[in-house]
Amino acid sequence: MSESKYWFPAKRYGWGWGFPRMWQGWLVFGAFFALVAAGFVLFRVFPPPEALVACLIYVVVLSGVLVGICWLKGEPPSWRWR
C-alpha cells in the first residue's frame, strides 16, 4: 500500500494517527461524530444522565470501531520523536 493511499497518516510526534488525508477518512471521521451526537440524543444525556452507562458503552464501542478502521486503513503507527 503506497503512502498516498492511507486514509489516516501517522502522527508526526507520538503514537497514533492524525487527521484524515483522503476523503474516505473524512467520511469515517464525520460519521463517527454524527453517530456520537445521535447517541447523545438517543440516550438523552442532556440534561439529566438517566442512561449514562449505556451512553458510555455506546461511545466506547464507536471509538473502538474508529480505532479499528484507523488501524486497517491508516499508516502503521509507531513512536515518533522527531
Domain span holding position 56? 18-73
> Does residue 7 sit within a domain?
no
> Does residue 23 sit within a domain?
yes
Distance of alpha carbon 71 from alpha carbon 82, whole angstroms: 22
* HSE, side-chain direction, 13 A CA sphere, residue 34: 6
> Does residue 5 sit within a domain?
no
Phi, psi of 9 (to 5 degrees): -80, 155
> Does residue 8 sit within a domain?
no
* Count of domains observed in the chain: 1
pLDDT of residue 61: 97
pLDDT of residue 78: 83
Identity at 44, one-letter amino acid code = R
Q: What is the mean pLDDT of residues 52-69?
A: 92
> Does residue 42 sit within a domain?
yes
Whether the pLDDT of residue 2 is over 70: the answer is no
- Helices marked H in 1-82: 23-42, 52-73
Residue-wise pLDDT tens digits, 25-57: 999 999 999 999 998 888 876 666 667 888 889
> Does residue 11 sit within a domain?
no
> Does residue 12 sit within a domain?
no
